Amino acid sequence: MRSRRSISDIVAVVLLIVIAIAAAVIIYMWLSGLIGSVHTSTSATQVKLEITGASVTETTSGTYSVQATVYNPPDSPSTSITLGELEFTNGTMLCSTPISAPTIPPSGSTTIPFPCKATATAKPGTPVEVVLVTTQGVQVSFTTSIS
CATH of the domain at 137: 2.60.40.10
- Which pTM value belongs to this model? 0.68
Do 55 and 25 share a structural domain?
Answer: no
The tens digit of pLDDT for each residue in 2-39 reads: 555 677 888 889 999 999 999 999 888 777 765 555 55
Domain that holds residue 103: 42-145
Same domain, yes or no, for 55 and 27? no
Q: Give yes or no: residues 77 and 141 share one domain.
A: yes
CA distance 76 to 44: 10
Note whether 35 and 78 are same-domain residues.
no
pLDDT of residue 34: 59
Same structural domain for residues 22 and 51? no
Judge if 46 and 35 occupy the same domain.
no
For the segment 96-110, what is each residue's pLDDT rounded down to a tens digit?
999 988 899 999 999
C-beta of residue 94 within 8 angstroms of C-beta of residue 120: yes
DSSP state of 99: -
